[in-house]
Amino acid sequence: MTRVAAIDCGTNSIRLLVADVDAATGTLVDVDRRMEIVRLGQGVDRTGRISPDAMERTLATVRFYGALVAQHGAQRLRFVATSATRDASNQDDFVDGVQRLLGVEPEVVTGDEEARLSFVGATRGLDAGHAGPFLVVDIGGGSTEVVLGGADVEAARSVDVGCVRLTERHGLDDPPTTSQVVAARADVDAALDRVAEVVPLERTRTLVGLAGSVTTVTARALGLTAYDSARIHGATLPVEVVRQACDDLLRMPKARRSALPYMHPGRVDVIGAGALVWRRVVDRVVDATAGTEHPLAFAVTSEHDILDGIAHSLV
């Protein structure tokens, strides 16, 4: 077993995984897994820059994670930065700050590499009862990655619709107005048109959703009284149940969202947009597979994602 540390810095959150990984078997055992909402991408879609406050919040968490990595004695460390950092004109300032604190250079990965890492992390964490090809969908704060594959990635596309970016771009009210929802939905649908140009959605046998928007929708669908990752991971839900949970969260006022026992405070203002993205993805795959031998009837949720993929890549 090799002890590794993986850091995933997205638009909304920054996450750490310290794990023992067996390269021969692919087994991954968590030592420490945690997440902080830092909203690094706040305003990036509008200004094209990481704000000073967002930079300070994120680097403070990087410093804390560095101490944990040292404490756990990780032998290898990989830091991956995604959508917000890719799009920021001052990304070099952020990269320099991380390198100063951790001693490793953060990788500002492409959307395709982000998609590949998400696919590896998600599919290795599924039980054997699910059949491929898998369509893995990772809904982040700034972008959404859609990947189709079996034993390996066959087609992938990253598009710039995520829960933070969509909320800011369309100024979603509390709750959003009908016209705002229509505009945001059209934005997502146009992005999925671009996905469908390169990813054959009709080949999907198992649809797998990743990241906080999807896990929160799943908690809603399951009626959880607290966030329970053991129940959320691997949950296989009928598409109509997923659709209803998405619609509930999109239309719900923030005061009600914040009172939900499974809701992370850092997701309250953006979960509606995340739920909208997941709803449109489910609808699109249902339509694409209708009339095939395997029409989509269920969606699977995974707690294993790009963070696990980064950890696997280290061995």
Q: Which of 171, 147, 15 is nearest to 81 (CA)?
A: 15
Do the domains at 2-109 and 126-307 have one common CATH topology? Answer: yes
CB-facing half-sphere around the CA of 170: CA atoms within 13 A: 29
The CA-atom distances, in angstroms, between 108 and each of 9, 112, 113, 280, 296 are 9, 12, 10, 28, 34
Q: Does domain 126-307 have CATH number 3.30.420.150?
A: yes
pLDDT tens-digit profile of 154-184? 999 989 899 988 998 888 888 899 999 999 9
Q: Say which residues have a Cβ less than 8 Å from residue 178's Cβ, sequence separation at least 6.
A: none
Query: Token pair for residue 90?
Result: 């001052």
The number of beta carbons lying within 10 Å of the beta carbon of residue 153 is 19
User: What's at 185, amino acid-wise?
Assistant: R
Report CA-CA distances (Å) from 32 to 11, 23, 78. Answer: 22, 19, 15
d(CA 41, CA 12): 6
Asked if residue 127 has pLDDT above 80, the reply is no
Angle at 141 between CA 135 and CA 145, to 5 degrees: 25
Contact 288, 95 (CB under 8 A): no
Per-residue model confidence as pLDDT tens digits over 48-81? 888 999 999 999 999 999 999 999 999 999 999 8
Query: What CA–CA distance (Å, rounded) separates 106 from 266?
Result: 24
Residues whose CB falls within 8 Å of the CB of residue 197, separated by 6 or more in sequence, listed in order? 157
pLDDT tens digit sequence for 208-221: 999 899 999 999 99
Q: Show me where the domains of the chain are located.
A: 2-109, 126-307
Mean pLDDT of the chain: 91
Asked if pLDDT for residue 251 goes beyond 80, the answer is yes
* pTM (predicted TM-score): 0.86
Measured in residues, the chain has a length of 315
Architecture of domain 2-109: 2-Layer Sandwich (3.30)
